[in-house]
Amino acid sequence: MVVRRQAIELIQGEPVLYTATLPDGRTKQGRMCASCGTRLWGEPVKNKNVSVIQPGTLEQPYNLTPVAHQWVRSAQPWVVFPPGAALFETQCSDPMELGRLWRLANPRAGHTA
């Protein structure tokens, strides 16, 4: 789930930075829980304004309705995508597009997401 980096509100603890070098040579980084090692969010190296949150780590993830699904070409055959959600075969090339889709689906939220 792509969000503005400044929109992240940490309730407890202090996450630690992790970095990993991917097989293609790119560097991936993000924050994880110092106690249990759970990956909390990614911090794209090329876009310092956004973070990629793992929705399951949120306090109330059941209130979320996805507006898009990425990497659908890798989905298990039993996965059923909801009608109306944007589907991307791989990674969406523009993370701001995901924000645009969210604003279209949530017009009352304005531009706060």
Residue 112 pLDDT class (50, 70, 90 cuts): very low
Reported as a pLDDT band with limits 50, 70 and 90, residue 43 is very high
Q: Which two tokens stand for residue 20?
A: 């990993």
Q: What does pTM read for this prediction?
A: 0.62
Q: Classify 45 in phi/psi space as left (phi over 0), alpha (psi -120 to 50) or beta.
A: alpha
What's the pLDDT at 109? 61
Arithmetic mean of pLDDT, 52-60: 77
Look at 23 and 46; give whichever has higher pLDDT: 23
Query: d(Cα 109, Cα 82) in Å, to the nearest integer?
Result: 21
**pLDDT(1) > 60:** yes
